[in-house]
């Protein structure tokens, strides 16, 4: 059964990415932690990934309050274009 717990670096980092959103399963987290024992590279990747997530979260917060709107001139152009094809 231990064979099933062995994963590649590609799989390990995929789980790590999933975990950034809190969506990795318990089993996945288990295999990831076992992978860390023999793989320092993926451990480092995870650490850096966590740092990135922190910065990204800050950006997300910043971006959420923003409302994008069209310029009035752009709307007028669009109105004209629509009128031309009007039946």
Partner 1 sequence: METKVVLDTDKWIDNYADYLYNYTIVRVNDSDLAKDIVQDTFFAGLKSAKNFEGKSSERTWLVSILKRKIIDYYRKTNSKKGQAEVRMNFYSDGDNEGDWIEERVPKTWENEAEKSIENKELNQQLASCIAALPEKYRLVFTMKTIQDFDTEEVCNELEISASNMWVLIHRARTQLRKCMEDNWFNS
- In terms of CB distance, is 1 or 87 closer to partner 1? 87
Q: What's the min distance (Å) between Cβ of 10 and partner 1?
A: 4
**Residues within the interface to partner 1 (CB under 8 A):** 7-11, 13-14, 17-18, 20-21, 23, 41, 44-45, 48-49, 51-52, 54-56, 58-60, 62-64, 67-70, 74-75, 78-79, 81-83, 85-87
Residue 52 near residue 17, CB atoms below 8 Å = no
Distance of alpha carbon 48 from alpha carbon 69, whole angstroms: 35
Q: What's the min distance (Å) between Cβ of 1 and partner 1?
A: 20
Distance of alpha carbon 14 from alpha carbon 56, whole angstroms: 18
Q: What's the min distance (Å) between Cβ of 49 and partner 1?
A: 7
């Amino acid at each position: 059964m231990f064979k099933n717990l062995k994963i590649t670096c590609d799989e390990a980092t995929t789980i790590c990415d999933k975990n950034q959103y809190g969506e990795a399963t318990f089993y996945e987290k288990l295999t990831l932690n076992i992978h860390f024992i023999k793989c320092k590279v993926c451990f480092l990747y995870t650490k850096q990934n966590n740092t990135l997530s922190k910065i990204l979260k800050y950006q997300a917060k910043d971006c959420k309050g923003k409302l994008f709107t069209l310029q009035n001139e752009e709307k007028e152009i669009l109105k004209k274009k629509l009128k031309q094809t009007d039946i």
